[in-house]
Amino acid sequence: MNLPKPRPMSPTIYSRVSLVRHTFIQVLNTAIQVLNTVIQVLDAVIQVLDAVIQGLNTVIQGLNAVIQGLDAVIQVSDTVIQGLNAVIQGLDAVIQVLDAVIQVLDTVIQVLDTVIQRLNAVIQVLDTVIQVLDAVIQGLDAVIQVLDAVSGFILGAVREAGMALTRTCSLTWSAARIVLVERRGYTSHHHAVTALRSKKAKSKRNMVQHFVDVRAVRAVGGTGGDGDISFLQLWSNETAGPDGGDGGNGGHVVLEVPVGTIVKTATGRVIADLSRDGSMFVAARGGAGGHGNHFFVSDTAQSPQVAEFGAQGEDLQYVLEVRSMAHIGLIGLPNAGKSTLLQAISRARPKIAPYPFTTLKPHLGMVQYDDYEQIAVADLPGLISGSHQNKGLGIAFLKHAERCAALMFVVDLSCSEPWRHVDLLRYELGQFSSELIRRPQVVVGNKLDLPESEENLATLKELIDVPVIPISAKVGTNLSVLLQHIRSLYDKHLSGGTEEM
């Protein structure tokens, strides 16, 4: 078969075909590049997804571990719950035991209440018996007084007629005297005619009285009254309800002491300073009164059979110390005549003897003037060298001196160099307290009646820078001058009271 020959293309068509082919190839290349880019992106996405999957796997593993831990916690919690259940069961058993104990205690309390009621009844009976016995004792005392009066009258009458009686009468008198004396509690085994006489009491004026500046005391407050168990009974209602009253509160112990007293505990702590007139300190408070059965009425207890005892009062111990002892203190060496001087200017009666340290405790005397002004003068124990180091009476003496508002140095003019005694006294006081040595001072030269005192007096006045008053406490020389000086010293420095020290 003979085909027709293709017609050759023209150059224009060929160039267009080439251009199209070239363009198509470029498009294919671009598409291939785009596909390659897409493939790369997909690879990256796949890698990211792989990483995410690995992370999720890790999270899943962690969650599995947490789940395992929670399982362990749950197991432990179950064990704890089982233990708590066992504890609760044990507490329930304890509560049951306590309930049983409480029931037993309630029974015991009821028994004790019954016993207390019986004891109260017994106490009331005993109180009645005691009152009867007191009345009997008072009657017996009256009878004894009457018998004493009768016996005294009879004995006096018989003694007056004794000289005129015969021997027979004398024997009769002796027998009568024996009977009367035995009634008064004495016995006699002889027939003496002399009547018995009581010993005359000593006058308090001549007795040695010590001034007490420190005293340990014990204060016990009153016990509160017990509550009462009683029930009201009316004509219209025999069981009107409980009406037992409350007991009263116990009394307080209130201290009444001289102004200037310090109250300390047993350990030395100051708890009260009664430095003003009218100051009061409650040393021990009384106990509260107990409630009666009326107090215990409630919805569930309309007729309570219980009441309270009163509380005990406070039981405390204190040390009372007088801070301001006297206006003027007599200070001197032992046996300088301080006690004799105090006895000469006041009504005090200290012990006087011709040996050192006769005075071991302070003695207080009151000097009263015509205008009724009173000045307290204290005779203090003797001071020696080294007292500030607690030699001799030591610190105890200096403590007494510290409580005096003014100082009166008493020296023995008959001794050798009495001015040195004044220097020693001042030195010891200054070593103890610099404030003490600055108080008002006066020097009293005692024993002026002795021959060697005149010469020492002149030298003493030259060497001492405070007033020197020569006296003789034994014979009363210059005591009026001393009393005038004490009054002027009081009016100038001390009339405000020793509490200002």
Domain boundaries, the chain: 17-190, 206-322, 326-500
Judge whether residue 191 has pLDDT over 50.
Answer: no
CATH number of this structure's domain 326-500, picked from the four choices 3.50.50.60, 3.40.50.300, 2.40.10.170, 3.40.190.170: 3.40.50.300
Question: What is the reported pLDDT for 83?
Answer: 92
pTM of the model: 0.44
Q: How far apart are CA 339 and CA 329, in angstroms?
A: 12
Judge whether residue 53 has pLDDT over 90.
Answer: yes
Q: Which amino acid is at 424?
A: L
Least confident of 6-15, 112-121, 478-487: 6-15
CA atoms within 13 A on the CB side of 370: 3
**Which bin fits 236, alpha (ψ -120 to 50), beta or left (φ > 0)?**
alpha
Judge whether residue 91 has pLDDT over 90.
Answer: yes
Question: What is the reported pLDDT for 5?
Answer: 61
Question: What is the reported pLDDT for 390?
Answer: 47
Residue positions counted in the chain: 501
User: Whose CA is closest to 257, among 314, 217, 317?
Assistant: 217
Q: Which residue has the tokens 């020290």?
A: 501
Report angle CA 467, 497, 433 to the nearest 5 degrees: 60
Q: How far apart are CA 465 and CA 89, in angstroms?
A: 95
CB atoms within 10 A of CB 386: 13
Judge whether residue 58 has pLDDT over 50.
Answer: yes
Report which secondary-structure segment, H or E, holds 313. Answer: none
Mean per-residue pLDDT for 102-114? 89
Judge whether residue 450 has pLDDT over 90.
Answer: no
Judge whether residue 468 has pLDDT over 50.
Answer: yes
Report which secondary-structure segment, H or E, holds 273. Answer: strand 270-274
- Residues 6 or more apart in contact with residue 457 via CB below 8 angstroms: 413, 445, 448, 468, 470
Mean per-residue pLDDT for 114-138? 83
Question: What is the reported pLDDT for 182?
Answer: 30
pLDDT digits (tens, 9 = 90+) for 400-418: 777 788 899 999 888 888 8
Reduce the DSSP state of residue 408 to 3 states and report it.
strand
Average pLDDT value for the chain: 77
Reduce the DSSP state of residue 415 to 3 states and report it.
coil
Mean per-residue pLDDT for 202-223? 68
User: Whose CA is closest to 249, among 282, 202, 288?
Assistant: 288
Residue 457 exposed, middle or buried by CB count within 10 Å (0-12, 13-18, 19+): middle
Question: What is the reported pLDDT for 435?
Answer: 84
Question: What is the reported pLDDT for 426?
Answer: 87
Q: Determine how β-strand 468-470 pairs with β-strand 441-446.
A: parallel
Judge whether residue 88 has pLDDT over 90.
Answer: yes
Provide the token pair at 261.
Answer: 């007293």
Which is more confidently placed, 120 or 275?
120
Judge whether residue 387 has pLDDT over 80.
Answer: no
Provide the token pair at 334.
Answer: 């032992």
Least confident of 83-97, 150-164, 192-206, 448-462: 192-206
Which is more confidently placed, 183 or 81?
81
Question: What is the reported pLDDT for 332?
Answer: 86
Judge whether residue 16 has pLDDT over 60.
Answer: yes
Question: What is the reported pLDDT for 378?
Answer: 84
pLDDT digits (tens, 9 = 90+) for 240-281: 678 778 888 888 888 778 777 889 888 888 888 887 778 888
CATH number of this structure's domain 206-322, picked from the four choices 3.40.50.300, 3.30.60.50, 3.30.1360.180, 2.70.210.12: 2.70.210.12
CB atoms within 10 A of CB 346: 20
Provide the token pair at 469.
Answer: 């008053």
Q: Sorting pLDDT into bands at 50, 70 and 90, what band is 52? A: very high
Q: Sorting pLDDT into bands at 50, 70 and 90, what band is 302? A: confident
Least confident of 51-60, 187-196, 257-266: 187-196
Q: State what percent of residues in the chain have pLDDT above 90.
A: 18
Mean per-residue pLDDT for 340-352? 75
